[in-house]
Amino acid sequence: MTSPETTTGARVAMTLAVCLTALLTLAIGVRAAMGVLRDMAPQVGTLIRFTPGSPSPLVPVRVTAHRLATTARAGGTCTLSAQMMTADGGSLMVEARNRRTREALVNWAGGRTARGPGDCGRTAALRIDTESLRALAEAAGGLGPESTDALAGNAGGA
C-alpha cells in the first residue's frame, strides 16, 4: 500500500507536468500567431491604392517614413497620413521587404501625404516598418475578408 505522502507527491508531479505542457503549447501558439500577423503585411508587388472619395479611415493613421537617398529630398523623415492620402489620391507600391529588420521599401505616387513640411511629396522612395505599412493598407481598405479593391497584385493579401 502506498503512503499518503507518495500519492500527494505523484499528484503534484502530474499537475506540474500538465501545467508545463499547457504553457509550452501556449508559447508555441503565440509565436506562430505572431508570425502569421507579421506575414499579413503587404507583400512585394502589392499596390496599395488611396482613392479620392472613398471613406476616410475611422481612426487617424499617421506614419513616419524615411526618405531614401534616391529622392530629390534625400534623407530625413516624412509623414504618411492615410486621411490626406485618401483625400488627394495616390498609391504605394511595395518594392522590397526585409523580414529581419521588419521594414519595407515602397514608392509613393500621388497627391500630398501630409499637411506642411512633413509632406513626402508627389513621388517618393521610402523605407517604412511593416506594421505601419499594414496599418496604411488597412486604412486604404485592404487586408481582410471585407477589404475593398485597395490592394492590387497581391494574391495572398486578402
3-state secondary structure 22-58: HHHHHHHHHHHHHHHHHHCCCCCCCEEEECCCCCCCC
Judge if 29 and 78 occupy the same domain.
no
* Mean pLDDT across 66-86: 83
| Residue 13 or residue 32, greater confidence | 13
The mean pLDDT value of the chain amounts to 79
Among 126, 103, 113, residue whose Cα is nearest residue 42: 103
- Do both 4 and 63 map to the same domain? no
Residue 157 falls inside a structural domain: no
Phi, psi of 58 (to 5 degrees): -65, -40
Domain assignment present for residue 53? The answer is yes
Domain that holds residue 5: 1-39
Q: Look at residue 30 in the predicted model and tell me its pLDDT.
A: 57
Do 28 and 57 share a domain, yes or no? Answer: no
105 part of a folded domain:
yes
- Please count the other Cβ atoms lying within 10 Å of the Cβ belonging to residue 24: 10
Most confident of 67-71, 102-106, 141-145: 102-106
Number of domains in the chain: 2
Give the position of cell 529581419.
100
79 and 17 in a common domain = no
Shared domain for 32 and 52, answered yes or no, is no
Does position 157 have pLDDT exceeding 60, yes or no?
no
**For the residues 80-88, what does the mean pLDDT come to?**
93
Averaged pLDDT, 46-56: 86
Strand-strand pairing, 123-129 and 62-67: antiparallel
Burial 83-96 (b: 16+ CB within 10 A, else e): bbbbeebbbbbbee
pLDDT-derived band of residue 31, with 50, 70 and 90 as boundaries?
Answer: low
- Coil vs helix vs strand at 93: strand
Question: Is residue 3 very low, low, confident or very high in pLDDT (cuts 50, 70, 90)?
Answer: low
93 located within any domain: yes
Residues 34 and 52 in one domain: no
pLDDT value at 54 more than 90: no
User: What is the pTM assigned to this prediction?
Assistant: 0.65
pLDDT of residue 145: 40
Same domain, 5 and 72: no
Average pLDDT of the residues in 140-151: 55
